[in-house]
Amino acid sequence: MSDSRLKILLVDDDQSILDILADLMPIFGHDFDKAVNGEEAVKKLKEEVFDIVLTDMIMPKMDGMELLKHIKANYPNIKVMVVTGYDRAFTYTDVIKAGASDFISKPFNIDELEAKINRLAREIELVSQLELLSISDSLTDLYNRRYFDSKIFEEVRRGHRQGHDVYLAVIDVDNLKVINDKQGHPAGDKILKAVGEIIKRCIRKNVDWPFRYGGDEFCVILTQVSREQAFITTERFIQSFNEMNLSLSGLSIGLAQFIRSQDRDWTDDIANLVKRADMALYKAKNTGRNRVVLDNNHHE
């Protein structure tokens, strides 16, 4: 695994066991934090992000079964491994039914513990890869339309909360149908891939968000930008594309600023943003193509 370092929360009221587990985690290659009972673990879960919780079952205040049920209800993606003694009050079936990912008995074998944690780490990595595949466009390696619908909602709300402007750029590859008809779809696909690369190169990673919206259309959510910066970024897309010297093609771009209205809900305002960006795109196409048109409806 390329990035297999996990954050593990160790929960046990026996300090000697907690110390042993704390010594082992760096050896296994993982970060950790500790809690002496379920109640303390609940507080830690609110404060930090964990991949795995390794918990004892018999503890004062809040036992392992209560903690397990709390984690499954509130943090369904966290893997829980239950550690219990020979006098166990809970069976393997009990804890698996309650949502535990694995189970190990005290006194535990160190190699067995490491093997079980490594198995959970592989599961976490696999889920992460599958999630990425589900939100990615396979041709361009940008995010897909499905992810756009949730990401735009997240970013406009964040921008509104933090006082940042958010812009949406809708990008259309000019004459792609003509290129597909004359040169074949592989030629068109090559252009789409190139556009994806250009967009990624011109934006800020994890600040701006690029998508293949469908067919020959792309869009980019530009966050924490001024009107001028948004315009310059989209102009850069066109400039970079023109440097490829594709005589038949260019990029037409519509750019619009998100506007939060008091009398409409968020989904209506997002629909309005997409509509205004689309209208600006059509204007770009109708006034000569290969240009950016900025929607005039904006906050000063």
Residue 11: both structure tokens together: 């929960």
- What one-character DSSP code corresponds to residue 291? S
Active-site residue, from 51, 137, 208, 216: 216
Q: What are phi and psi of 225, to 5 degrees?
A: -130, 155
Composition of the chain by helix, strand, coil, percent to 5: 50, 20, 30
Nearest Cα residue to 41 out of 22, 63, 19, 25: 63
Contacts of 239 (CB under 8 A, 6+ apart): none
Cα–Cα dist 194/240, whole Å: 10
The answer to whether 216 is a known catalytic residue is yes
Contacts of 46 (CB under 8 A, 6+ apart): none
End-to-end Cα distance, the chain:
49
The answer to whether the CB of 141 falls within 8 A of the CB of 192 is: no
- What one-character DSSP code corresponds to residue 241? H
- What one-character DSSP code corresponds to residue 136? B
Cα–Cα dist 186/290, whole Å: 22
Instruction: Tell me whether the omega of the peptide bond preceding residue 60 falls within 30 degrees of 0, making it cis.
Output: no
Tell me which residues are annotated as active site.
Answer: 216
